[in-house]
Amino acid sequence: MQEFIDHISTQLHLSPSMKERLLSLTTVQKFKKGDTLGPEYSIQGRVFLIKSGAARIYYLKEGKDITTWFAFEKDLLISIRSKFSRQEYPEIIEFLEDTEVITIQWRERRDPAKESNIFIYSMANRILLAYSRFLEERLIVLQNKTAKERYEWVVTRYPHLLQRARLGQIASYLGITKETLYRIRSGKYSG
């Protein structure tokens, strides 16, 4: 587990004492392909670091699932919407293959002046900053790129995505139809 703490430490610029504290908040969990964590399993206050495997976050809207995030080895997986808002469409984590995750459990604290709480708030801010960078990149791609350019972006960002996720999930993530994705992949897209 230490190598993954070192990895997240590099991403979040943690001091040695912060790495040690983070290690004390972590556990390892294993999930099977197809397992889901939904509203009944409070994903609030948890951050997952994918050690091996793959997952996605999605929500259901009028019976259709809408993919909002993919995560693979060494990626963070968090549910911001469920943590900070009362959402109309609760998020669900689905494991796309057998997956081992390091779970970081943020405990609810009452006194923000305590040293342990300062650490937790600092970590949460660092994770939110990393997440906001990713969201900004994705937003720019979705708003400014053609469907073909979005597809090229996602397969560059996630080189093994096509082998690990269904095409419908990828199309949903890109905000395009499966038919458009099929045309792009076959070279018949003219948009």
- pLDDT tens-place string over residues 18-30: 777 777 778 899 9
Q: What is the pLDDT of residue 117?
A: 61
State the pLDDT confidence band at 102, using cuts at 50, 70 and 90. Answer: confident
Let me know: does 107 contact 26? Beta carbons within 8 Å.
no
Strands 64-71 and 76-78: unpaired
CB atoms within 10 A of CB 26: 17
Predicted local confidence at residue 132, as pLDDT? 83
Query: Rounded mean pLDDT of 118-141?
Result: 78
Say which residue, 114 or 9, is predicted with more confidence.
9
Q: Which residue has the tokens 């419908």?
A: 168
Confidence of residue 140 (pLDDT cuts 50, 70, 90): very high
Q: How confident is the model at residue 4 (pLDDT cuts 50, 70, 90)?
A: low
Inform me whether the pLDDT recorded for 78 exceeds 70. yes
According to DSSP H, which parts of the chain are helical? 2-12, 16-24, 80-84, 115-144, 147-157, 161-164, 167-174, 178-186
Please, which residues have CB within 8 angstroms of residue 132's CB and are 6 or more apart in sequence? none
Residue 149 phi, psi (nearest 5): -65, -35
d(CA 118, CA 147): 43
State the pTM of this model. Answer: 0.79
Decide if pLDDT at 81 tops 60. no
Q: Which phi and psi angles does 148 have, rounded to 5°?
A: -65, -40
Average pLDDT, the chain: 82
What pLDDT was estimated at residue 147? 95
